Amino acid sequence: MSIERVGIVGSGIMGSGIAQVAAQNGFEVVLRSRKQETAEATVAGMEKSLDRAVEKGRMEQADRDATVARVTATSALHDLADCDLVIETVVEDLEVKKRLFIELNSACRDDAIIATNTSTLAVIEMAVEVNHPDRVCGVHFFNPAPAMKLVEIIRPLTASDETIAEIRSFVETCGKDPVEVQDRAGFVVNALLFPYLNNAVKMLEKGVANRDDIDTAMKGGCNFPMGPFELLDLVGLDTSVSILDALYQETRDHNYTPDPALLRMVAAGMLGRKSGSGFYDYNK
Ligand SMILES: NC(=O)c1ccc[n+]([C@@H]2O[C@H](COP(=O)([O-])OP(=O)(O)OC[C@H]3O[C@@H](n4cnc5c(N)ncnc54)[C@H](O)[C@@H]3O)[C@@H](O)[C@H]2O)c1
């Protein structure tokens, strides 16, 4: 089966970004949100982002119009019935995602691939909720999806070779670079990245160096584009704590226990860029 029509469930940061990527690369897209207004507002936001690309000369007007024409907004799950691939991008909560998989099992075709964009959760836990767990996998786009080249393809124990081959072909048609990963918390990127970010917080707390010097050291010494505190603020400290918690739950490795300083900052509402302050102050 070749993938032509793609359903995106959830219209947050990742849902809107993946919908745009798929539509720009020739796929018909059905964007489903729980509320019709939200789905329509997300498509309107995508149109604005494409308009900016045209203004800056990065996209032709005709390509922008063709991309927009390929996207339909809906609140009805049954509108996903014709989709060859459905990617869920709802909140990082296993119970919410499992309930959604049960609904998708009824709404989608038997031979549709159902994929999750989870950052850390066990894909197998979602796969066992549907009649065809061989048609379930993870497809982990990065933020912002239109700009980031990497996509981790997650293979739960139940996935068939055919499913993984079809999803790889979809990812490549989207112009992304896929890597295939076993179904382990954090996959490759977050499993390696988050102990480093957590250890940067521990180092700051011990007073080994100050915030700016740690960020400067990692940019200058490792050629990283951002220091650990700049990156934590970009990801969001609440999201970072959820990722560390999921890694700890699976491994029981204390290297993944969120540093108490992170927990206190989340409790204070200092979530990083999205709340206006985190390790840095964005209100200045
Ligand atoms: N933000 C990132 O950097 C990033 C990167 C890669 C993967 N992810 C993953 O993508 C998924 C979505 O993350 P996001 O950053 O787009 O989040 P977001 O908060 O921007 O969007 C979450 C979406 O889930 C919906 N939602 C919330 N509660 C729900 C419920 N009970 N039932 C159904 N839908 C519900 C919201 O309406 C929204 O559309 C998560 O699994 C996350 O781990 C996030």
| Nearest partner of 89 among 6, 206, 157, judged by Cα | 6
DSSP states of 72-89 as a string? Answer: EEES-GGGGTT-SEEEE-
* Residue 11 beta carbon below 6 angstroms from any ligand 1 atom: yes
Q: Answer for the pair 83, 2: CB distance below 8 angstroms, yes or no.
A: no
Q: Answer for the pair 243, 119: CB distance below 8 angstroms, yes or no.
A: yes
Tokens of 129: 């909720």
Given the residues 152, 166, 198, 275, the one annotated as active site: 152
Q: Per residue in 49-61, pLDDT tens?
A: 999 999 999 999 9
Tokens of 182: 């076993």
* Residue 238 beta carbon below 6 angstroms from any ligand 1 atom: no
Bond into 144 cis (ω within 30)? yes
Where are the alpha helices (H) located in the chain, listed in sequence order?
A: 13-24, 36-55, 61-69, 94-107, 123-127, 161-173, 189-206, 211-222, 228-235, 237-251, 260-267
* Residue 190 beta carbon below 6 angstroms from any ligand 1 atom: no
Given the residues 16, 119, 240, 275, the one annotated as active site: 119
Task: Name the closest-CA residue to atom 19, ligand 1.
Answer: 12
Given the residues 88, 140, 166, 240, the one annotated as active site: 140
> Which residues are within 8 A (CB) of 249 and not within 5 positions of it... i.e. 6 or more apart?
185
Q: Per residue in 243-268, pLDDT tens?
A: 999 999 999 999 899 999 999 999 99
Q: How far is CA 49 from CA 40, 58, 67, 70, 210, in A?
A: 14, 11, 12, 15, 37
Q: Which of the listed residues 13, 20, 152, 154 should we mutate to test ligand 1's pocket, taking the one with most ligand atoms within 8 A of CB?
A: 13
CA 97 remoteness from chain centre: 14
Catalytic: 25?
no
Q: Which of the listed residues 8, 9, 11, 14 should we mutate to test ligand 1's pocket, taking the one with most ligand atoms within 8 A of CB?
A: 14
CA 153 remoteness from chain centre: 12
Distance CA 251, CA 119 (A): 16
Per-residue pLDDT of the chain (284 residues; tens, 9 = 90+): 689 999 999 999 899 999 999 999 999 999 999 999 999 999 999 999 999 999 999 999 999 999 999 999 999 999 999 999 999 999 888 999 999 999 999 999 999 999 999 999 999 999 999 999 999 999 999 989 999 999 999 999 999 999 999 999 999 999 999 999 999 999 999 999 999 999 999 999 999 999 999 999 999 999 999 999 999 999 899 989 989 999 999 999 998 999 999 999 999 999 999 899 999 999 97
Q: Answer for the pair 198, 256: CB distance below 8 angstroms, yes or no.
A: yes
* Residue 10 beta carbon below 6 angstroms from any ligand 1 atom: yes
* Residue 119 beta carbon below 6 angstroms from any ligand 1 atom: yes
CB-facing half-sphere around the CA of 229: CA atoms within 13 A:
24
Q: Which atom of ligand 1 is nearest to the CA of 119?
A: 43
| Nearest partner of 45 among 119, 175, 146, judged by Cα | 146
Given the residues 33, 117, 190, 242, the one annotated as active site: 190
The pTM (predicted TM-score) of the whole model is 0.91
Catalytic: 40?
no
Q: Are strands 85-88 and 5-9 parallel, antiparallel or unpaired?
A: parallel
Report which DSSP code applies to 258: P
* Residue 45 beta carbon below 6 angstroms from any ligand 1 atom: no
Distance CA 128, CA 77 (A): 20
Tokens of 186: 């954090």
